Amino acid sequence: MATKSIEILAPAKLNLHLGIHPGRDERGYHRADSVMIGVGLSDIVRIRTADALTLTMSDDCGVPPERNTVFRAARALCAAFGRGEGYAIHVEKHVPSQAGLGGASSDAASALLGLCQLWDVDPLDERVVTVARSIGADVAFFLTMAPAYLTGAGDVLVETFPELGGVPVALVRPDAGVSTVEAYRAFDEEPICPPSPENMCAALRASDVNGVVEHLYNNLEPAANRLVPVTAEVRVWLEQQPGVRAALLSGSGSCVFALCESDDCARRVARDAQETRNWWANATTTVGAGSQFC
């Protein structure tokens, strides 16, 4: 049989609104109101037919391949569809880990999308979505990449919004990352009740960038700042840069994103963050649905 292969982009995401609710459910999860949008910074996931299921990574993620979200997602999807596990998967990393950008979840979703394309399966097939939700809270979002509001543990889709592509963004991450587990533990020590995400949802329904800028929110940010105080310094620095409209920690951090007035502004901010502060940085834009396919 001829070898088949496919290459899929695995874009990062931003949390435009992240409202974690105090307390945990019977599964140990917090209720999370999460409004997310994709950005152009992407890993690359390559899949080809092979004798067995294998996973290689361009960067060491610190976990054995069989525990990686990509491997687990591919294995679970093969089981769900009764398919053999004959695939070699390689992930070329560009999205930093422990950044709140959803890199691991996006990689897993891209593996699912790639297999669906090889099998000619609808990626929104109920079996695919069920596998995605079983791997991680954000994974299902990356199956479509449309701006979306999710609740439950951040895995139950409530609403999708019109595309809001092309908004200039500067991403800045200090050397230290934030463990999601530790961030939620720190949140539990000093919980904050979040407001409704409705203002952000209304802005996205209207494709109102000014409204998005006005209503950015993340009540996990104080917990992340206590764990890695430099994240607060990054946000303050970004807010002081000319042309930055607003800045916020993404997810549990440690990456802070800035919505900028122009692409030139985003590039300048990213360059200055690298050259004057020695922080990792990237200039990108928001992206719409279907942006994974090369």
Spatial distance between the Cα atoms of 136 and 139, rounded to a whole number of angstroms: 5
**What residue ranges of the chain have pLDDT lower than 50?**
none
Query: H or E stretch including 283?
Result: strand 280-287
User: Which of 105, 286, 103, 292 has the alpha carbon at shortest distance from 212?
Assistant: 286
> For the purposes of burial, counting CB atoms within 10 Å of the CB of 32, is it exposed (0-12), middle (13-18) or buried (19 or more)?
buried
Spatial distance between the Cα atoms of 87 and 55, rounded to a whole number of angstroms: 9
- Per-residue model confidence (pLDDT) at position 1: 53
Tell me if residue 13 is catalytic.
yes
**CATH number for region 5-160:** 3.30.230.10
- Domain layout of the chain by residue ranges: 5-160, 168-287
Spatial distance between the Cα atoms of 253 and 265, rounded to a whole number of angstroms: 22
> How distant, in Å, are the alpha carbons of 61, 110, 142, 151, 198 from that of 93?
10, 13, 16, 28, 34
User: Which of 151, 24, 70, 172 has the alpha carbon at shortest distance from 78?
Assistant: 70
> How distant, in Å, are the alpha carbons of 42, 154, 173, 183 from that of 284?
10, 25, 14, 26
Which residues pair with residue 249 across a beta bridge?
A: 256
Helix (H, G, I), strand (E, B) or coil at 187: helix
pLDDT in tens, 265-274: 999 999 999 9
Spatial distance between the Cα atoms of 114 and 293, rounded to a whole number of angstroms: 9
DSSP 30: P
**Of the listed 33, 43, 107, 138, which one is catalytic?**
138
Spatial distance between the Cα atoms of 16 and 100, rounded to a whole number of angstroms: 12
The answer to whether 201 and 149 are in contact (CB under 8 A) is yes
**Of the listed 13, 43, 107, 155, which one is catalytic?**
13
Class assignment of domain 168-287?
alpha beta
- Per-residue model confidence (pLDDT) at position 29: 82
Only one residue has tokens 């607060």, namely 232
Only one residue has tokens 């769900």, namely 80
- Per-residue model confidence (pLDDT) at position 236: 98
CATH topology match: 5-160 vs 168-287 = no
Backbone φ and ψ for 269, nearest 5 degrees, come out as: -60, -45
pLDDT in tens, 106-115: 999 999 999 9
